[in-house]
Amino acid sequence: MTGPTISNGPEPVDARRAVALVKFTAPTRFDPAGINSVFEELSEDGRTGQTLLAMCAVLHGYQPHLGTDAGLQALQNVIENHRLRELGEQ
């Protein structure tokens, strides 16, 4: 099986990249060069999946309420909204 699993999940390098992407995509200081530098690293070592899992860990670390019933429902609402937009229904 390729891709992230419990045995080859996020490592410190993935967390660093995840946090860097959050920093580089800040609406007030959007940094395409910084984003591209992370993307280049990801394409070189194929750890995109692990970095995505690290991004989730970062989000839950800074926003612990996301794991509550209310937070999970809010996430589900966002998922549904984007699904409807994908289908052109909103």
First and final C-alpha spacing in the chain: 37
Residues 66 and 59: beta-carbon distance below 8 Å: yes
Tell me the one-letter amino acid at 28: T
**Residue 2 clears pLDDT 80, i.e. is over it:** no
Helix axes 48-62, 12-24, angle to 10 degrees: 70
Tell me what pLDDT residue 9 has. 79
User: pLDDT class for 8, splitting at 50, 70, 90?
Assistant: confident
Domain ranges within the chain, ordered by starting residue: 12-86
Which tens digits make up the pLDDT trace of 62-83? 899 989 999 999 999 999 999 9
Tokens 């490592």 -> residue:
11
Of residues 4 and 25, more confidence is placed in 25
Task: Dump the DSSP string for 51-89.
Answer: HHHHHHHHHHHH-GGGGSHHHHHHHHHHHHHHHHHHTT-
Entry pTM: 0.77
Phi, psi of 25, rounded to the nearest 5 degrees: -100, 10
Residues 53 and 4: beta-carbon distance below 8 Å: yes
